Amino acid sequence: MPKQPLKHLWLWLFPFVVSASFVHWEGNYDTARQKAHKTHKPLLVFIVKQNSDNTREAIQTVFMNQPYVETINEKTVAVMVTYEVSQNYPVEMYYTTVFPTLFFVDAQKELFLRKPLYGNEITKESVGQSLHRMVGRESAD
């Protein structure tokens, strides 16, 4: 394919990519925990299984282009941990056999702030409600 049409395609797609609203995930649990400590924000720990259709669907439908994504990015430190791949998270604290799983955690005390959400429980509505209760902001719905 000639380079000129690719350039035009990129210029056409660029506004859509830039305007997309998505969660800014940390990829390293220790880094995320340190950032949460420094900023006094809770952790949003998303445990996923590699090559999982459920994970891809949750990311696309729950963590992209939703009104609460800005709240997640401003009020929490979000970290995505890949089960059996990531080696730097406390497995005993975030133990699960259902994927994906979403934990809401006080990074200072390492206590759960909300009941974890498992698999199909991770919906736009449940995440929005949990965020609203956790951060106390009406815009989290």
Give the domain ranges of the chain. 23-140
Topology, domain 23-140:
Glutaredoxin (3.40.30)
- DSSP-assigned states of every residue in 88-123: SS-TTTS--SSSSEEEEEETTTTEESS--EEGGG--
Residue 66 has pLDDT above 50, yes or no: yes
pLDDT in tens, 27-54: 999 999 999 999 999 999 999 999 999 9
- Using alpha carbons only, what angle is made at residue 66 by residues 50 and 98, rounded to the nearest 5 degrees? 30
Residues for the chain: how many in total?
141
Of 10-14, 43-47, 85-89, the range with the lowest mean pLDDT is: 10-14
Chain position carrying tokens 């259709």: 53
User: Which token pair is 6?
Assistant: 């690719």
Q: What is the pLDDT of residue 141?
A: 40
Tell me how far CA of residue 37 lies from CA of 90, 99, 108, 132, in angstroms: 16, 26, 6, 21
Contact yes or no for 57/114 (Cβ under 8 A)? no
Q: What is the pLDDT of residue 11?
A: 52
Give the strand pairing for 101-106 and 43-49: antiparallel
